[in-house]
Structure 1
Amino acid sequence: MAMDFRKFWTRNMLIGLGLGQFLSLLITSTGFTSSELAKKGINAPTSQSFLNYVFLVIVYGSILLYRRKPLKAKWYYYIILGLVDVEANFLVVKAYQYTSLTSVMLLDCWSIPCVMLLTWIFLKTKYRFLKITGVIVCIAGLVLVVFSDIHAGDRAGGSNPRKGDAIVFAGATLYAISNVSEEFLIKNADRVELMGMLGLFGGIVSAIQISVLERNELKSIHWSAGAALPFVGFSVAMFMFYSLVPVLLKINGSTMLNLPLLTSDMWAVVIRIFAYHEKVDWMYFVAFGAVTVGILIYSGGDKDEDEDQHPLNSAEDPPRIKQDEEAKSGNSSRGTGAGSSKTWVV
């Protein structure tokens, strides 16, 4: 019995749980800074993320230039990833203009089955009954959150719920694609390369989109400390989130990234209670417990994943990828210094 307990509380599982909750807190902080910007009438979702990509390319791009080594992954993978990541961030932030917080929170769970499907197809990850059960329990906890909002009368319909819900579905699907792509790249390429190239192409895509969609909005903003601080705070939190995501992806994979991040809304509840002294429905605590149990079920037990990490490479690439993996296996701790995550997935 003691042996089974030690198998359950593995080092990777404990690191994954702790890091996942820290990432969850970072996401909570981005939610609050976005809320502050919305209260000030600032509607620039792409601009909010742009500074994060600038931080990424400055920090990790500088390291890449210092190394002067060729890219380990095809450059066009990073263009696609940058485009997908920018649009995922844009859509989910945009959805808050049309639908309620609880709808966004629930529908964002769509990224979990999407991640599981994509990793099963492209990364050959196998999910057994224990893993699937953990995901179901986590989603059940989020359903309880929605019911608690309805029970407490806090649900706001939004100006166009159907449009907002459709936007969330689209954004959650793009998040899943982004997270799985990052998982593949962090395991077959390099963490610094991933962050530097994501920052480069994410910044380029963001700049183009800002010039087309948000140029007039930025001109109309009366910049002050009250407007600039939430903007910078959002970018710093996102930079930390993106920098840590590859760590969790390398240790536990993209599904384990998405599961702990479900608790971000519940951490927001804790902040509401202690920072703003607001009353919260008792069902939130039941939901938090359900999500915690689901994460434990998912991350415990025997190793359930059997991944083939080569499916996205062309026919001429396997020898090089194999050499990279053998090199990494001799120095596996190198990939746990900092990452993304968010992975995520963030």
Structure 2
Amino acid sequence: MAQSNTQEFYGKDSDNIDMTNADTVTHQPKGAEAASPENGHGVPTLVTSHEANPVLERDAQTKGTWAGYVKTKQFWIAMLLGQTLAICITSTNTLSQLLSNEGTSIPAFQSFFNYVLLNLVYTSYTIYKLGFKGWGKIMLKDGWRFFILAFIDVEGNYFIVLAYRYTTLLSAQLINFWAIVVVVILSFLFLRVRYRWTQIAGILLCIGGVGVLFGSDHITGFNQFDAIDPVKGDLFALLGASLYGISNTFEEFLVSEQPLYVVIGQLGFWGMFINGTQAGIFDRTSFRAATWNGAVGGYLTGYTLILSLFYSLAPILFRLTSAAFFNISLLTGNFWGVAIGIKVFHYHIHWMYPIAFVLILVGQVIYFLRQGSLAEQKKPWLGEDQDKGVSGIGTAKRRVENPDAIV
């Protein structure tokens, strides 16, 4: 059982935690080289140099070449995962709209159940793997970092919801582009990420695609509503987008060094208390005035399950790619929102929508067009051989240790 080895679970080597072949690393003596898969005779072979590892060697050979990463399976998995997350966030927005149509508007309170579910699932699993002593070490050593992550995440959600109350949907969504800018700046300054011109071009093309969506909305009059207080709403949206950018960058850093279940569990644990306190303060009146029926219960259940799925999958995309790609992946949300709205709200897709969707996807391809076979899976802050990171699902270190691993 995991409880018998708690003395090395946390600290500098805290990523050396088994996660049933998903987040798996092994302790090694100081200075020892990482072990590669077995050589066919049941005996592990040792990786003694950068060149000896086929994964790192292939990455070095393909770095800067055209379509080095686009030809890999990891690229298509990242693209699919990005669109899955875009559909998830669009689905939660649709369910929020359905709740509002029923007369139930409790933005802070409805997210509370998401944090509760994440805490129940991932904190329970953390305790199962590490024991109460190991979990306690997490709380004592790094609890403050996870508290900050949860606080920023909760407040980002809160201020974006407030923005939609005061300003137009178009204005708030335009300001959300600021989250991409924040991520790029923070990653450059603090995570030593260096962007190629193709990545910048890809981001700009994705933003241009969303501009086509907004142009279509303007032509058709879709999503055009009067703003109650545009200045206040725009400031809330700007603050919310900034917090989103900070939390995305911070979470990418944390999941590269810690097992997924630890990060998500801690986010759920602290988020539950922060969001619960905030909901108790600001949503009491709305909660009492809300409509409660079977439909509302179903919408809340669906909202919680889908949002929890989003929070579970997002860290994998952070590992496979980056917080920047995560944000440009979500730009297709407008298209998916209208696609879902055709069935739910009887919307009609304007002819410009498919063009915008294709532009965003092409921008995402261009973003990766001149990257090596590991692309952003290889994090610059983890060292050349990624030895400072955790070996888990979606990490470059896992592929270095097991060249046959897909993610």
Q: Does 1:99 align with 2:171?
A: no
Paired residues of 2:103 and 2:291 also in contact (CA < 8 A): no
Match of 1:261 in 2: 330
**Taking structure 1 as reference, are residues 310 and 7 closer, same or farther at Cα in structure 2, changes over 3 Å only?**
closer
Match of 1:309 in 2: 381
**Farther-moved stretch of structure 1 (97-106 vs 247-256):** 97-106
Task: Return the match for 1:195 from 250, 258, 264.
Answer: 264
**Taking structure 1 as reference, are residues 326 and 50 closer, same or farther at Cα in structure 2, changes over 3 Å only?**
closer
The C-alpha deviation readout for 1:216-236, integer Å capped at 9, x for no partner, is: 221222311122221221111
Match of 1:296 in 2: 365
Q: Does 1:144 align with 2:212?
A: yes
**Taking structure 1 as reference, are residues 183 and 5 closer, same or farther at Cα in structure 2, changes over 3 Å only?**
closer
Query: 1:283 & 1:53 partners in 2: Cα distance?
Result: 37
2:194 alignment partner, SS class:
coil
**Taking structure 1 as reference, are residues 329 and 109 closer, same or farther at Cα in structure 2, changes over 3 Å only?**
closer
**Farther-moved stretch of structure 1 (131-140 vs 204-213):** 204-213
Amino acid at match of 2:75: M
Amino acid at match of 1:108: N
Paired residues of 1:131 and 1:297 also in contact (CA < 8 A): yes
Task: Return the match for 1:87 from 139, 147, 155.
Answer: 155
Higher helix share: 1
**Farther-moved stretch of structure 1 (17-26 vs 61-70):** 61-70
Q: Does 1:15 align with 2:77?
A: yes
Paired residues of 1:59 and 1:196 also in contact (CA < 8 A): yes
Paired residues of 1:46 and 1:210 also in contact (CA < 8 A): yes
**Taking structure 1 as reference, are residues 7 and 30 closer, same or farther at Cα in structure 2, changes over 3 Å only?**
closer
The C-alpha deviation readout for 1:112-136, integer Å capped at 9, x for no partner, is: 1111111111111110100000000
Q: CA deviation at 1:278?
A: 2.8
Q: Does 1:125 align with 2:197?
A: no
**Farther-moved stretch of structure 1 (25-34 vs 147-156):** 147-156
The C-alpha deviation readout for 1:41-87, integer Å capped at 9, x for no partner, is: 32221111100000010000001111223439621000101110001
Paired residues of 1:57 and 1:199 also in contact (CA < 8 A): yes
Task: Return the match for 1:213 from 275, 282, 287.
Answer: 282
**Farther-moved stretch of structure 1 (248-257 vs 208-217):** 208-217
1:223 alignment partner, SS class:
coil
**Farther-moved stretch of structure 1 (226-235 vs 112-121):** 226-235
Match of 1:344 in 2: none
Task: Return the match for 2:311 from 236, 242, 255.
Answer: 242
Amino acid at match of 1:202: G
Task: Return the match for 1:71 from 135, 138, 142.
Answer: 138
Match of 1:340 in 2: none
Query: 2:90 & 2:391 partners in 1: Cα distance?
Result: 38
Query: 1:65 & 1:277 partners in 2: Cα distance?
Result: 47
Q: CA deviation at 1:257?
A: 0.7
Query: 1:326 & 1:152 partners in 2: Cα distance?
Result: 49
Paired residues of 1:126 and 1:307 also in contact (CA < 8 A): no
Paired residues of 1:182 and 1:246 also in contact (CA < 8 A): yes
Paired residues of 1:109 and 1:262 also in contact (CA < 8 A): no
Paired residues of 1:99 and 1:161 also in contact (CA < 8 A): yes
Amino acid at match of 1:147: G
**Taking structure 1 as reference, are residues 216 and 277 closer, same or farther at Cα in structure 2, changes over 3 Å only?**
closer
Amino acid at match of 2:318: L
TM-score in terms of structure 1 length: 0.86
**Taking structure 1 as reference, are residues 333 and 56 closer, same or farther at Cα in structure 2, changes over 3 Å only?**
farther
TM-score in terms of structure 2 length: 0.74
Paired residues of 1:16 and 1:256 also in contact (CA < 8 A): no
Query: 1:127 & 1:330 partners in 2: Cα distance?
Result: 21
Q: CA deviation at 1:301?
A: 2.4
CA-based RMSD of the aligned residues comes to 2.6
Amino acid at match of 2:103: G
Query: 1:168 & 1:185 partners in 2: Cα distance?
Result: 25
Q: Which runs of 5+ in 2 are unaligned?
A: 1-64
**Farther-moved stretch of structure 1 (214-223 vs 241-250):** 214-223
